[in-house]
Amino acid sequence: MKTASILALIGCLVTVTESRIYTRCKLAKIFSRASLDNYGGFSLGNWICMAYYESHYNTTAQTVLDDGSIDYGIFQINSFTWCRQAQTQEKNHCHVACSALITDDLTDAIICAKKIVKETEGMNYWQGWKKHCEGRDMSEWKRGCEVS
């Protein structure tokens, strides 16, 4: 009993420390270092804008869709096509566990997002981007951040 409650407590602490809301400029730096600026022809601002409207920079964001699939993480990457979730049949194009897309280490999420841009030919995959970012001036999104 005691062990169980201690484990439960540790579980809670781990969950809390793993979730993170990045600031806009912190993300700008991470994205810039990961060579997202102009990846697939999309400037850094597009990536920051997209992440904002998809997840509000919440690395642990999860959204259950009507078909039972789940959108994961800062880029809201869907389990049906792109990552591996235990319960359902998936394509797992990114060869990654969905759980790896909701950690504060964005490496896997960025690799997968790059793959989506390549395989689907652009950022149309992201409804938040289409609705709020596409075709607009994206320079504001990196303003004041220490990125070129």
Task: Return the active site residues.
Answer: 54, 71
* Side chain identity at residue 44, one-letter code: L
- Pick from 84, 88, 92, 24: which is nearest to 58 by CA? 24
Q: Cβ of residue 58: shortest distance to ligand NAG, in angstroms? A: 4
Which lies closer to ligand NAG via its Cβ, residue 58 or residue 92? Answer: 58
- Tell me which long-range contacts 40-44 makes (C-beta under 8 A, separation of at least 24): 40/114, 40/117, 40/118, 40/122, 40/123, 42/117, 42/122, 42/123, 43/138, 43/139, 44/138, 44/141, 44/142, 44/147
Cα angle value 76/81/84 (rounded, 5°)? 85
| Residue 144 beta carbon to ligand NAG: minimum distance, rounded to whole angstroms | 22
CB of 61 to ligand NAG, least distance (A): 4
* Phi-psi sector, 73: left (phi>0), alpha (psi -120 to 50), beta: left
33 half-sphere exposure, CB direction, 13 A CA radius: 9
Looking at beta carbons, which residue is closest to ligand NAG?
58
Choose which of 32, 46, 60, 79 interacts with ligand NAG (CB under 6 A).
Answer: 60
Residue 21: how many CB atoms within 10 A of its CB? 15
Options 25, 57, 58, 114; binder of ligand NAG; rule CB under 6 A: 58
CB of 105 to ligand NAG, least distance (A): 16
| Region binding ligand NAG by CB under 6 A among candidate stretches 57-65, 80-88, 118-126, 134-142 | 57-65
Interacting stretch for ligand NAG, rule CB under 6 A, among 9-17, 46-54, 60-68, 87-95? 60-68
Please, which of residues 8-47 interact with ligand NAG by CB under 6 A? 19, 21
Which residues bind to ligand NAG, rule: CB under 6 A?
19, 21, 58, 60-62
